[in-house]
Chain A
Amino acid sequence: MSWDDGIDFPALPSLERLRLCLFQDSRHNLYAINHILPNFSSLKYLTLIICLKFSGGNITHVDWSPLADLLSSRRPPIEHTDLYIRAKKAGGEASSAEVISMLSSYKNLMGLVEAGYISIKEEKYSDVHVNKFFNF
């Protein structure tokens, strides 16, 4: 069994808050989110933290449309999602302006931001696990 095959998560009828912190491979990250979310029908608040490392300086070649499609499907109908994206690239960490610029071409995602369902957070998410990944 693997993420690609789907993992059999049990139903969690009381779950209100989910924090998912996913490191590295964006394709697998999106599989993970896709497989987890539909099981949590009572979910109200999602905090999604995606941490990526790029070997070069260009971070724009990641296709974010699966994430945008997933969040815009609003299944389950989450009241609010906080989205943190941190990207380490050659020469340092990508700025929040770079990340937001990269996401701004996904109109369905930006529509949800304008409607108040999603916040793309400008501050860098920081805790002991994330900091370890970024080697701080």
Chain B
Amino acid sequence: MDLLPAVMFPPEILTEIFGFLTSEAPALIACSQAHPTFAQLIEPILYAHVIVHDRLTDPNDHHLKLKPCQLSTLLSDNPRILNYLRILRVYLSFNEGWTEIAAILGELKLERIQLTFTGTYYGCIGWEQLPMAFRTAFVTCISTSFMKEILLDRIENMPLSSFADCAGLKRLGLFYDTIPPSNVSCNFPHLEALELFDWNIIDLPVWQEFFSWARTHACGLRSLTLTTFTKNLEQGFLPSLLTICSTSLVNLSIYYINPRKPI
């Protein structure tokens, strides 16, 4: 094979160039097929951020997308890829995919994981409804010093105590409701970013326990995102949370949903 002129560049330069395509898996795959040298340089970039799913996903998101069985086979055939995978986004409904992912999670050293339930459009699933093997593997996977970001979407009632050993955690996203830590202290010093989706705490004791947890672990927040309904604002949840991080907060996003009839 003739050398392409671009291959004459030092690998550091080529890696820098391919690094601009981290969110464009089809382009990276096309480049990697152009020359074996490219393939070698691209591999760590291509597999750094993977979406694993069992249904259709956002067509505008061009990160590498694999079915659970495809990811399982890929890692089994190419164990070196375990060292490249840093961000894993899991979109699963009701199927066997949870078990396949559970078998993989323990081997990964992730910096970010997102877990989204896609079973129904508006619906969600309780943490306790997920297979035990998956829950155990997930908590093992996040309980490392490299895990910095955990986002749970449409997964409700995950106990806050599950994050107790996430020593490196900086960003946490929780959906709808959560179970307070029952006096379990978390190992991460302070969260930098907290995202609360469709947040809805009604029960006052739960509310108080949540704020007790937040006063210790969310007092240095720089970024807060809250998707909520009128009553949570009217009952003072947001002002109370803002008071906890009032001196550190730099970015604030509020999605205020007012479920009224069309105008």
Contacts and interface: CB of A to CB of B under 8 A. Distances in A.
Contact of B262 (A15, A54, A126): A54
Interface stretch (A76-84, A114-122, A127-135): A127-135
B33 interface: no
Given A10-B243, A53-B262, A55-B262, A21 B255 contact: yes
A17 B263 contact: no
A65 B215 CA distance: 40
Interface string B198-242: 000000000000000000000000000001001001101011001
Given A10-B243, A17-B252, A3 B233 contact: yes
A14 B249 contact: yes
Interface residues of A, number: 38
A1 B60 CA distance: 41
B248 A14 contact: yes
Nearest to A87: B263
B147 to A, nearest CB: 22
Contacts of B255: 21, 23, 129
Contact of A25 (B153, B252, B263): B263
Smallest CB-CB A-B distances: 9 pairs: A19-B253, A55-B262, A53-B262, A21-B255, A17-B251, A24-B258, A10-B243, A25-B260, A10-B246
B153 A128 contact: yes
A123 interface: no
B246 A24 contact: no
A23 B252 contact: no
A23 B259 CA distance: 8
B90 to A, nearest CB: 15
